[in-house]
Chain A
């Protein structure tokens, strides 16, 4: 079964507007971590933000925030005030505590294109 689902293959957003990227996850663990990565066209994977399953506050990092709804098993990424440099593919990922094999399970990704 797919552990991470990203239902939006591609999105367009106007510069300076906010965009929300959807991510739902599937786990029976109580302890897990959720991550978002950015992959620009140059190919590298850039860590953006992390949310722990026990964290009560939604994570924020600059213009990135994570809308964590535990009961719904969703961890949506919100990018505020979009910039042209935000055009990239975005991946949601999860690491479960058990089994403790350290691996990240990734979603299929969402391509974001920011329009001037």
Chain B
């Protein structure tokens, strides 16, 4: 009964390949996110989706394309993988209703996907 799940947990691939990471949440949340954690452990938002609508695209190369087939799923597809894409990618979700002024909704994270590009 994992709240936010990601697959795969580990992904090792060659430069130039295309790969996808899947995320599912069973919390009934409206908003889902992708974060990237680099080798120095710094976490940065990549995308957020609210009710399947893209809200944030935070200066991410267009080789990265999120897809939200429904509110419970947010997948990340990466084309033409590069060495610098190696990182841990976290999916997260929160119960946000999109009302201006609300800042208190906790984001719950998935277990992370460690991507290694060789």
Contact = CB atoms under 8 A, between A and B. Distances in A.
Interface of A: 29, 31-33, 35, 37, 39, 43-47, 50, 52-53, 89, 91, 93, 95-98, 100-106, 108-109
Contacts of B41: 39, 89, 108-109
Contact of A102 (B42, B94, B108, B110): B94
Contact of B33 (A89, A91, A102): A102
Given A43-B112, A101-B48, A106-B42, A50 B55 contact: no
Contact of B104 (A33, A44, A45): A33
B107 A98 contact: no
B67 to A, nearest CB: 18
B62 interface: no
B61 interface: no
Interface of B: 31, 33, 35, 40-45, 48, 50, 55-56, 58, 88, 90, 92, 94, 96, 98-112, 114
B53 to A, nearest CB: 11
A65 to B, nearest CB: 17
Most-contacted residue by chain A among B101, B107, B114 (CB, 10 A): B107
A91 B33 CA distance: 17
A106 B114 CA distance: 19
Given A102-B33, A106-B42, A50 B104 contact: yes
Nearest to B114: A43
A104 B96 CA distance: 13
Given A104-B45, A108-B42, A109-B41, A52 B104 contact: yes
